[in-house]
Structure 1
Amino acid sequence: ELPNIPASLANKVITMAQFTQSEADVQSACSSGKVVDVNEDTVPKVNPQEKEFQQELMRKLNSMYHIIKSVDRRLEMLEQKRTVPEDECDQVNVNVFPLKSKFEVEQLERRLEVDTDFFNSCVKVLKGLGGADLQHVVLNIMRYTMTNATAEFYSLLGAKKKQPFKCLLLYKVIV
């Protein structure tokens, strides 16, 4: 028959350090042949519901760990695809942006038409600008490529007596 345990000790929580120390005490006492008093401090109480909760928690943590590792691998692959080797960027100087006048836009168009390396370098530079979503990507590219004063001369299809931006090679570089 089990002895009555006082209510103050019935719900006592034992830390892992206490359990390890108690276990070490029991092992040393057993090896020396001493009689050991087993009490609530030497035998941890395992609540079945708590054990089930801990197992479920570990399963979910493990699942989250694998998801994070998968996302991390995908992110690394995307970063590798996005980075442009420095030697490619140095091949052609694209320091023509932002365009400050219609004349500069016309000069850029002529250069894009005859110089395919320059065209490709412009594509790579603009591709690296990025943004949170498509709207911000386009906004970042437009701010990078031309000033507001220059952009006022153009609309996408040429509405309101403006030049059609869609007909420019710069449009093809952006798209």
Structure 2
Amino acid sequence: MNNSETAQVLMDSVQKGNFEHARSLLADDFQLSGLVSEPINAETWLGMGASLGMAFTNLNYHFKVDSSAGDVVNTTSQLSGTNSGALDLTGLRMGVICATNRKFSTVQENTKITFKDEKVRSWAIEPTEGAGLKAILGQLGVELPTAYVASKSARH
């Protein structure tokens, strides 16, 4: 499998809730950046993916590979869904958010996935107004914790 195919298989696995397979595609030192103020590791990211899948039974990542060059794959995603269950964000120190039964749809965001030894080593999300966790929670009518807002503001 080439890097573009691996990136697609990874997100297909996350979308389907097959987190064991998704984990097998990630490097031991995998880091995801741009979601919250500090990079997160594979376990935190996959845990959040599982929580999103339980909270949004119709969650769709609308993931697309745009281009690939060497060890870098450029992708886009645009999340949408309906919040029909509790959203557990304790892994991000944000607690559990009760179901709102509201729909959300973020704007498209760009990501850069870097590979090393045929595994995903890093996933960098480009900061995009109207995308990401802040946008999802905003559309659900959930206020962000003060610490989250302050740390995100310091980065921009």
TM-score under structure 2 normalisation? 0.23
- Greater relative CO, 1 or 2 (CA 8 Å, sep 6+): 2
Q: Which has the higher strand share?
A: 2
Q: Which has the higher helix share?
A: 1
Question: Of the two, which has the highest radius of gyration?
Answer: 1
